[in-house]
Structures are given as structure tokens and as C-alpha cells.
Amino acid sequence: MVVSKTTPDSLSDLAQKTQKASQKLAVLSTKQRNEALSAIAAALSTHNEQIVAANQKDCEEAKKEGIPQALQARLKLDQTKLQSAIAGVQDVVKLDDPIGAVQIHRELDTGLILKRLTCPLGVLGVIFEARPDALIQITSLAIKSGNGVILKGGKEALNSCQALIKVIHNALSKTDVPPEAVQLLTTRAEIQELLSLDQYVDLIIPRGSNSFVRYIQENTNIPVLGHADGICHLYVDETADLKQAVTIAVDSKTQYPAACNAVETLLVNRTIAGEFLPLLAPAMAEKGVTLRGDTETRQILPQIEEATETDWSTEYGGLVLAVKVVADLESAIAHIKSYGSKHTEAIVTENNDHAQAFLNQVDAAGVFHNCSTRFSDGFRYGFGAEVGISTQKMPPRGPVGLEGLVTYKYQLTGNGHIAASYSGENPKPFTRKDKIRTQ
Amino acid sequence: MVVSKTTPDSLSDLAQKTQKASQKLAVLSTKQRNEALSAIAAALSTHNEQIVAANQKDCEEAKKEGIPQALQARLKLDQTKLQSAIAGVQDVVKLDDPIGAVQIHRELDTGLILKRLTCPLGVLGVIFEARPDALIQITSLAIKSGNGVILKGGKEALNSCQALIKVIHNALSKTDVPPEAVQLLTTRAEIQELLSLDQYVDLIIPRGSNSFVRYIQENTNIPVLGHADGICHLYVDETADLKQAVTIAVDSKTQYPAACNAVETLLVNRTIAGEFLPLLAPAMAEKGVTLRGDTETRQILPQIEEATETDWSTEYGGLVLAVKVVADLESAIAHIKSYGSKHTEAIVTENNDHAQAFLNQVDAAGVFHNCSTRFSDGFRYGFGAEVGISTQKMPPRGPVGLEGLVTYKYQLTGNGHIAASYSGENPKPFTRKDKIRTQ
């Protein structure tokens, strides 16, 4: 089942096989899908040594090639991380079934019953970084949601991914989920080919750098779930509790600076800038954050670097924060409109009218009041699992849980009902009684 | 406000103005938006004569140019059609507000409240046929859902559209909705330019021929709401009530043959083909339907035309029906998988297991049992308004009401909450109490 080299033709064949398998998977019961997940968890436990050994091979190679420490850390799949990934699969078993949920249940007329039910998308194409534990998580979310999945992990993790897929295929072969529903691609060249398979692939989920995600979005007709940027702002209003504002700013910047929901630009109301910035500077310095300020900020904090136009549109991904003094709430909102990436935007204020205006007027997946931008996250929102964070405007938007992997269909059941009865002269009326309507 | 000629630059300016106006519109109350709709309805009534006169000019021109009768009929906006369009605007006033709906209301921790609220998309680009009443309907749905709209109607309706926009702009100028939120394009060249304005336009809704919709989908990075084909099937199973099957088949084909939800191919189970087809043929003949059959069908109905491979993938849009005899339910589902357009697929059967298998396994926006495919329609489903029918797999799928014109955002409100409290050693637990969860 492991594909070591594919020609364009065989990748199309493989995608077709995945689609066929996904159609079988789609009609399995919750129990059948959960049993498959439990089988995967058990098999990963049983074969833990060979998985960790395969990963050690990848890690040694990566060390030899001198890839950055941070990437090496992500690549590593030791016993602790593997056990935690296995626990993750067991957690997915416990999640509510995202498919077969009734969103609308409506009697259109006596005996003519409309239902809107959630169902799987079909086949997912997931391109992820060199992180073997991501393969385990993605596979379990795909099976839970009844979708086939074609996986492509970062090349540094090749041995680990192949070892994992072998174990997963063996486990699935003893369950009702066809092993062909989960496939692994192994060469970078296959990504381009995958993007053209809109006949077989229903959603592409790219994970990685902004430029990579944008490249994917611009090179496929398949819908893409992915955020291309995370330039988040925190606006400290004139009526902010200044101590609270410092705490929130420090958390938003430093709790995990590489995350897309970390803050990149701090906007400070002019009225309180003279009081606030001298409180902020030492707190940020203590955490090792470099501040870059506009002219007004540097009049108050002359020791800091100058922020240039580029800074307002930069996702630092590290311990740098741009700071700008603004005249008022409106100027803050205008700055966010120009430079924000529609990810997460926050205000600190004790003025409820200002808070409400900010929450209403700022166009972003997350709009926050008096709390850290770092809460913008599927797990923290309680979605149980996070497929990704989307900064697209159309739903699914923001942190996307399992619901982002399903669609719906309308089922209509009658007993000989025809449209002609409800039109022309003397049309029958529709009764339209709702039993369920949750959309 | 009426733009008679625009250069590429000025179209971008116009879209930017529409976006600015849409941001004002987005934060208006339900009452303010409804008042604007009532003002439009009143103004259309007051200025009915000049609107009808402008339309007469279009109709005379169309007659002179010899455009087809059906198109002339759609172009016509007489007093009756105008009054019905005005009543339509008043109906939109009565619809539930699609924006500000709370989809999730969850306490993450004491004082940390998450809400998911529906909000407008921003600016819609709607390209529609030469039907002036469509302009009235689209404009009212856009305003109701808090969206700006850039309209481009078929060129034959130019005078009518310009007259309508003038009345609508005058009406809006006395309300809180900025008139710039509704814009009219007048040249075909502007469509191409519109498709490139992904900075200002959030959703393109093309209405028209399949090839036109597909052209739009392939030439823009803006999300597109549109169906590209409606090849619907009706499968008559071996246990079908044959009389009911004839009635449903006739309705599905003839109740409005030009509609995308009309049936194009009839699949007949071999076991009952000999009994069913001789019942079907005269019923279809009576309605003027031409049948085209495969070899087995023509053994039973030798008088009918031969169906070729092309027929299975043709949307006739008129009184022609392709007929094929199939071995069983599985063959019927396989045929639909190969040739269906994921619009609406129906089965007639008295066997509930067969019905359930069909509804589960067929991948289409609508899957129907013992009723006509013609029910696949937003008004019939009770959505109050229909923006379009989408055959894309991702939501919104199938008939799309006002909910297709909105997105959502996550609002999080705290009082100094930071992420660090919930991680590291001794992390605080989240409480996650749901007050509302409707997704």
C-alpha cells in the first residue's frame, strides 16, 4: 500500500482508489468507524518500537543534514510523544459523530418530509510539515468524519510516515474501514499532481508557511482550507485597565510567539500612551521582546527601534512587537482594516460602547475583548479537535473542528408527491412544520 | 450614481466605494435595513410608470433584434410583474434577520464567554440574465443580509436596470443604507474586471448558462456560488408502485422542463421494464416528450429514438428524456456516479432498504424518495428566498437561502483572561458550559 514512487498516471489511479474506498467508509456506522480508530490506537501501541526506530533514522538524518533545532524537535517522535498521539486517537473516538446529524427536519406537506443531514466530503488531501504525530491526528480525524485521506508529510519524516502508514494499514485491514481510504504520498512532485485531481479530491488542507499555503490556494480548483497569514492586533483603548492591558499584551505576544494567533502589532490610544508604554516596556523586556515603534511611540520610549511601513504587515513569528500610537478607536479600526489578516483582533477597554463598536466593525474570524489573542484556537474553544484555522471569509471560518470536514445533503421522502399539485390554479399549500431546525 | 461607462481604474474605485458603504450597512440594525427595503418598495410603486416605460424601450429593441420569444418574455416587466416584484420586496422584509444569529454561546471559563455570530459577507457580485425583476429581488436580499452588491444584468435589460437603480438609489438616499451599497455595471467588459477584484468582492453569484457559470468559476479567485449543470436522474426500482412512478416521472420531466431540477435520464430496473415502459411511453407522449432509449429500452419500445453516449451527459432543458434499463440498484447508483451532476437524484421504490441505500450512497445535494425532482428548490423547502442552487460539495450546498449570503465570526469576551493560566504546570481547567449550540 505504501507508494514509494508514482508516475502521474498512477497517482490519479491511487486517488480514484481512495475515492472508491471513501465511498465505502462514508456509509459505515459510528461504531464501525470508532472500532477502526481503536484498532489503529492498539496497533500503534503494539508496534511502538518499530515506529520509534524508524523515527530515529529520520532524526539522525536530519541532524546530519543540520536542519534547524526547532524542526528537529518537531520531527522527533519518541515514546512520550507517541503515547500522547495514541491518547489523541482515543480522544477522537469519544468525540460526537460529525456525520448523520440532522440540521433540518421539516414536514413540507403531509407525508413529504425534508431532512438536511451532515455527510462526509469524500477525499481530503492533507499536506503537512515534517511532524509524524500530525499524520496520526489527521488520519484519525479523517476516519472519524468518514473521509478518505491522501497524506503528504514533510520529506524529513519519510521513514516515520511510512512506518506509521504500514501499521495503520495493517490495523485497518482487520476492520470495516478499507485500508485504501488512507494513502501516503512520498515525493514533493506529487503535490502538483494532487492539486489537479479535482475529480477525486474534495478538499485540500495545506499546513506550513504562509507562502506555501498561498501557493496552494493559487494553484488548484479544489477548495482549500488554510490560513495564509496571522497578523493579529491588540488595541489598548483610552479607558483600558492598564495593568490588565500589559498582562494581555505580554500573553498575546509571548505565550507562544510562533503561533498564528500571537499578536504582531500593538495599537495604543494617544490619551494613555504616555502612561501605558512605560509600563509595557519593562514587562516586554523581561520576556525578551524587542519593541519597534512609530514616531510617537519613540517619543515616549526613545530607546526602542523604529518601525517602518513593512513592520505593519509583518508576521514576526518571534519575539518582536510593532507599536503604534493612534488617535482613537476609529483610527485603530482603520489600521486593522488596512493591515489585518482577518485572523484575530483584540481590544482592551472598560468602555462597553467602544468594545461593542470594535467587535461589530472589525472584520476578522475572531474579535476579542479584554482577553488574549492566544485563545483563538479550536481546542480552547472546546471543539475537541482542530483541523486548522481559516482566515477565509466564507464558512468554515476561524478555528475549524470536525465540522469543517463534513458537508450536508437534503433528503426528501414522499409517497408520490409531485410539484404540479402545488402550482397552477388551486395549488395545494405547503404545511412546513419544523421538527428540527438548527442552522 | 448610475455608471454608464467605467475604465478599469474606476471599476476598482467603484468596488472600493461599495465596500466602504457595505461596512456601514453591515452594522445597521434589523429595523434600519427593513426600513430601507420598505422605502424601496414604496419608491418602486410611486415610479411604476417610468420603470415600465424604460422596460418597453428594452422590449421594443429586443423585438427589433429578433431575440428569442422566451428571452423576450423574461425581459418584459409589465405592471403585473412589477407589482409582484414589489410584493417580493415586502416579503423579504418579513423574513427572519439572517445576521446577528447566535450559533454558539459558550462559557469557556468564569467570565470568559465565546459567541459565534452570523455576519454579512461584505460585497456580492451578481451577474444575472436580462430579467429586470431579478435586479429587484437580488437587491432586496443583499440589503436584508447586510451586504453591498455590484449588479450586472443582461445587456438587453439595460434601460430597465438603469431606471430601477435610479429609483432604488433615490429611495435609499432617504434611509440609513448608503446608496453606494448598490451598484450597477453596464458593460460586458466589466465582468472580467469584476472577477479580479478579490480585494473588494467577497462572493460572485453568476446566473445563466452552464458554460457561463463554469467560465466564471475558472476565471476568479473569489468564491463562486453557482451550479454548473443539472443532470438529474430518476431510478424506478423493481418494487416501485408503477403508476406512482409514471406520475413522478412525468412531473419531474414536464412540470418545468427548462429548470435545472428537471429530470434528464430515467433509469429503469430490468425486472419491471417490460411492464413499466409501456405505461410510461403514452403518458410522456401525451405531454410531448421525446424518449431516447438504450438497446434494452428499444427492445420494449421499438418506436423510440436511440440514445447515444452523449445523451447520458446532456441537460436537455426541454421535452426530451433519455431512458436506460439497468440490472439493479447498484447499477443505477453506478450510472448516477458516472453521469450525475450532484444536483438532485431520485428513486421510486416500495423497498425501504433500497430507498435507504440510495439516499445514503448517492452523492448529490438532493436525494429523493418517491417524489418529484422538481421539489429541489429553496422556495419549496421553505427558505423564503432562493439565492441559487449550488452543486458544489462544500456548504452552502443545494438550494441556498439568505444563509448563503452570510458568514460568522467568533466573539470572545473576558476580563483580563490570558492563555498562560490554562497551560504549563497547574493549568486551570476550562469549564465549557454551553448556553446555545446550534451548529
Which residues 226-245 on chain A approach chain B with CB closer than 8 angstroms?
A: 241, 244
Peptide bond into A120 cis (omega under 30): no
Closest CA to A248 of A176, A118, A348: A348
**pLDDT per residue as tens digits for the range A77-114:** 999 999 999 999 999 999 999 999 999 999 999 999 99
CA–CA gap between residue A208 and residue A201 (Å, rounded): 20
Position B420 scores a pLDDT of: 95
Which stretches of chain A drop beneath a pLDDT of 70?
A: 1-9, 228, 437-439
Q: Would you call A367 and B398 a contact, using CB atoms and an 8 Å cutoff?
A: no
CA distances from B397 to A66, A364, B342, B343 (A): 48, 24, 10, 9
- Report residue A183: phi and psi, to 5°: -130, 150
Which residues have CB under 8 Å from B291's CB, separation 6+?
B280, B281, B284, B297, B301, B304, B305, B320, B321, B322, B323
Position A228 scores a pLDDT of: 67
Calculate the average pLDDT of chain A. 93
Sequence length of chain A is 439
Q: Which domains does chain B have, with CATH numbers?
A: 8-218 (3.40.605.10), 232-375 (3.40.309.10)
Beta strands at A406-417 and A112-120: parallel, antiparallel or unpaired: antiparallel
- Chain B interface test: which of A220, A409, A428, A434 (most B C-beta within 10 Å): A409
Q: Would you call A412 and B366 a contact, using CB atoms and an 8 Å cutoff?
A: yes
Position B210 scores a pLDDT of: 76
Supply the pTM of this predicted model.
Answer: 0.89
Query: Is B115 within 8 Å of chain A by CB?
Result: no
Query: In the 8-state DSSP scheme, what is residue B337?
Result: H
Q: Would you call A416 and B370 a contact, using CB atoms and an 8 Å cutoff?
A: yes
Position B8 scores a pLDDT of: 47
Nearest CA distance, A69 vs chain B (angstrom): 22
Residue-level pLDDT, tens digit, chain B, 439 residues = 444 444 545 899 999 999 999 999 999 999 999 999 999 999 999 999 999 999 999 999 999 999 998 889 989 999 999 999 999 999 999 999 999 999 999 999 999 999 999 999 999 999 998 999 999 999 999 999 999 999 999 999 999 999 999 999 999 999 999 999 999 999 989 999 999 999 999 999 998 777 888 889 888 889 998 776 789 999 999 999 999 999 999 999 999 998 889 999 999 999 999 999 999 999 999 999 999 999 999 999 999 999 999 999 999 989 999 999 999 999 999 999 999 999 999 999 999 999 999 999 999 999 999 999 999 999 899 888 788 888 889 999 999 989 899 999 999 999 999 999 999 889 999 988 888 766 4
Query: Is A424 within 8 Å of chain B by CB?
Result: no
Which residues have CB under 8 Å from A301's CB, separation 6+?
A277, A278, A281, A291, A293, A323
**pLDDT per residue as tens digits for the range B361-373:** 999 999 999 999 9
Position B207 scores a pLDDT of: 84
Query: Is B411 within 8 Å of chain A by CB?
Result: yes
| Among candidates B23, B368, B407 on the partner chain, residue whose Cβ is nearest the Cβ of A395 | B407
| ipTM (interface predicted TM) | 0.90
Amino acid found at B38? S
Q: Would you call B108 and A375 a contact, using CB atoms and an 8 Å cutoff?
A: yes
- Nine-digit cell at A333? 479600526
Which residues 270-309 on chain B approach chain A with CB closer than 8 angstroms?
A: none
Interface A-B, measured as beta-carbon pairs within 8 A, has a size of: 219
Query: Is B106 within 8 Å of chain A by CB?
Result: yes
Query: Is B251 within 8 Å of chain A by CB?
Result: yes
Q: Would you call B375 and A412 a contact, using CB atoms and an 8 Å cutoff?
A: yes
Q: Would you call B369 and A413 a contact, using CB atoms and an 8 Å cutoff?
A: yes
CB burial readout A81-91, b (16+ within 10 A) else e: bbeebbebbee
